[in-house]
Chain A
Amino acid sequence: MSVMTEEREALKAAVADYLDATFPIDKVHRIANGKEDVPAGEWTKAAQGLGLAGLVIPEEFGGQGASLGELGAVLQEFGRTLAPLPMLSSAALGTVPFLVCDNANVSKPYLEALAAGTATAALALSEAANQWPATINNTTATPSGDTWSITGSKSFVLDNGGADFYIVSASTPQGPGIFVVDAADVQRTDLNAMDLTRKQSAISLNNAKATPLAINAQEQLTKIQNLAATLVASEQIGGADAILKMMVEYAKMRVQFGRIIGSFQAIKHMCANTLVEVEQARGAAEDAADRAAEGEDITLSASLAKIACSEVFSDATLTNIRVHGGIGYTWEHPAHLYFRRARSTNALFGTPAQHREALLVGLGY
Chain B
Amino acid sequence: MTTAIETPANLEEFRLKVRDWFSSNATREDAEASGESSEVEEGETEDFLVVARKFQNTLYDAGLSGLSWPKEYGGQGLTMNHQQVFNEEASGYVLPSTPFMVTLGMCAPTILQYGTEEQRKRHIGPMLRGDEIWCQLFSEPGAGSDVAGLTTKAVQDGDEWVINGQKVWTSGAHYASFGLIVTRTNPDVPKHKGITMFIVDMKAPGVTVRPLRQMSGASGFNEVFFDNVRVPATALVGVVDQGWTAAIGTLMNERVSIGAGGGGLGRGTGTVQFDRLAELATSTGAITDPVTRNELATIWVKERTLAILGDRMRASLKSGNAPGPEGSIAKLAGSELGSRVADMAMDLLAESGQAWNNDDEESLRWATNVLASPGGAIAGGTPEIMRNILGERSLGLPKEPQLDRDMPFKEIRTN
Contact = CB atoms under 8 A, between A and B. Distances in A.
Interface of A: 1-3, 248, 251-252, 259-260, 262-265, 267-269, 271-273, 275-276, 279-281, 283-284, 286-287, 304, 307-308, 353, 355-357, 359-360, 363, 365
Contact of A284 (B293, B304, B329, B399): B304
B294 A3 contact: no
A248 B397 contact: yes
A287 B309 CA distance: 10
Instruction: Describe A's contact surface by its main secondary structure.
Output: helix
A252 B316 contact: no
B316 A1 contact: yes
A263 B313 contact: no
Given A3-B316, A268-B387, A357-B293, A279 B398 contact: no
20 contacts: A1-B321, A1-B326, A2-B316, A3-B312, A3-B315, A3-B316, A264-B400, A268-B388, A269-B388, A272-B387, A272-B388, A275-B394, A276-B332, A279-B325, A281-B305, A284-B305, A287-B311, A356-B293, A357-B294, A360-B296
Interface of B: 278, 281-282, 287, 293-294, 296-298, 300-301, 304-306, 308-309, 311-313, 315-316, 319, 321, 324-326, 329, 332-333, 384, 386-388, 390-392, 394-401
A286 B281 CA distance: 31
A286 B308 CA distance: 10
A236 B281 CA distance: 33
Contact of B305 (A262, A304, A357): A304
Nearest to B307: A283
Contacts of A276: 329, 332-333, 390
A281 B306 CA distance: 10
A276 B263 CA distance: 14
A280 B293 CA distance: 22
B390 A360 contact: no
A275 B328 CA distance: 11
B388 A280 contact: no
B409 to A, nearest CB: 23
A58 B56 CA distance: 55
Contact of A283 (B278, B287, B309): B309
Contacts of B329: 275-276, 279-280
A92 to B, nearest CB: 22
Contacts of B400: 263-265
A57 to B, nearest CB: 29
Contacts of A360: 293, 296-297, 300
A248 B392 CA distance: 11
A264 B392 CA distance: 11
Contacts of A248: 395-397
Given A3-B312, A356-B298, A365-B278, A283 B391 contact: no
A252 B398 CA distance: 7
Contacts of A355: 297
Given A271-B397, A276-B390, A279-B329, A304 B312 contact: no
B297 A3 contact: no
Given A1-B321, A271-B397, A356 B316 contact: no
B387 A252 contact: no
A318 B376 CA distance: 30
Interface centre among B308, B386, B400 (most CB of A within 10 A): B308
Given A252-B397, A259-B401, A262-B397, A275 B305 contact: no
A359 B296 CA distance: 10
B391 A271 contact: yes
A251 B396 CA distance: 10
Given A1-B313, A3-B319, A268 B392 contact: yes
Given A251-B397, A280-B309, A359-B301, 5 more contacts: A262-B397, A279-B325, A280-B333, A287-B308, A357-B294
A40 B367 CA distance: 65
A353 to B, nearest CB: 7
Contacts of B397: 248, 251-252, 260, 262-263, 267-268, 271
Contacts of A287: 308, 311
Contacts of B395: 248, 268, 271-272, 275
B296 A365 contact: yes
A353 B301 CA distance: 12
